[in-house]
């Protein structure tokens, strides 16, 4: 049995109803593994005590996205950097998603900050690098494929020893690896149009004047991206021991 730990880093505002069925980060991930009979996903909060998190017997870790800024002095960021260092030293595979990708880059010595091109939102075409085409995380995928994006920050400088796996027209570092053990993807393989629209509903008014594109039209036009589920499957099947 493969035991994977999900570190839920989402910080919910009061704008989201507590009982809403889409307000379930673990469900966003686990629904793609319905046909797996040798897999468990245990959720912990990024705000939990790091020592308690490290006591979990896990074969792999996923760090979720979050509205937090991975470059800020938020104490959650510091705790996650410590956890990532511990998992690195223990040889535990880690997959960081969006914010998780950024905090992974920071923990490994890269530079994270506001993306100079601003917000990336919606369907994004990413292209694998030669290293990405050889990487188990993207096994079975074409050189170019669509994913769903929602980020205003980015890994602006690769951590020492990191290898670029994928890029897009908006973001140079869409995916990277460190020693083929720690992986970050800037996009959201776990989400779908329904979840992304749910997340953006309370934010639309604030962001409409900040972007140069039609935010509402972009959200209305979201398309499913099957590559996301394939990437999550690859992480569990091919990378987690």
Say which residues have a Cβ less than 8 Å from residue 191's Cβ, sequence separation at least 6: 28, 148, 150, 199, 228
Tokens of 233: 């499957």
Give the residue numbers annotated as catalytic, written as ranges.
Answer: 98, 188, 190
Say which residues have a Cβ less than 8 Å from residue 166's Cβ, sequence separation at least 6: 126, 127, 128, 129, 132, 138, 174, 175, 185
CA angle at 170 for the pair 111 and 164, rounded to the nearest 5°: 50
Alpha carbon distance 42, 24 (integer Å): 13
Tokens of 126: 């990413």
**Axis-axis angle for helices 75-90, 99-107 (nearest 10):** 70
Tokens of 91: 């040889």
Alpha carbon distance 157, 149 (integer Å): 19
């Amino acid at each position: 049995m493969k035991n994977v730990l999900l570190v839920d880093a989402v910080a919910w505002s009061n704008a989201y109803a507590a009982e809403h069925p889409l307000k379930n980060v673990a469900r966003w991930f686990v629904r793609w593994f319905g046909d797996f009979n040798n897999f468990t996903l245990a959720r912990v909060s990024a705000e939990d005590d790091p020592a308690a998190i490290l006591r979990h017997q896990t074969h792999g870790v996923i760090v979720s996205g979050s509205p937090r800024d991975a470059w800020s002095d938020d104490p959650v960021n510091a705790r996650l950097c410590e956890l990532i260092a511990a998992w690195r030293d223990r040889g535990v595979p880690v997959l960081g998603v969006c914010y998780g990708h950024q905090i992974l880059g920071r923990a490994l010595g890269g530079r994270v900050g506001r993306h100079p091109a601003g917000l990336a939102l919606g369907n994004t075409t990413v292209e694998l690098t030669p290293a990405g085409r050889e990487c188990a995380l993207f096994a079975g995928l074409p050189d170019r494929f669509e994913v769903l994006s929602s980020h205003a920050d980015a890994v602006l400088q690769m951590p020492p020893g990191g290898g670029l796996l994928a890029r897009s027209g908006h973001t140079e570092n869409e995916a990277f690896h460190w020693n083929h053990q720690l992986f970050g993807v800037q996009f959201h393989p776990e989400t779908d149009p329904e979840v992304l629209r749910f997340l953006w509903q309370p934010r639309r008014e604030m962001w409409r004047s900040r972007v140069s594109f039609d935010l509402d039209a972009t959200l209305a036009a979201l398309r499913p991206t099957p590559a996301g589920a394939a990437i999550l499957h690859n992480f569990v099947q091919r990378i987690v021991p």
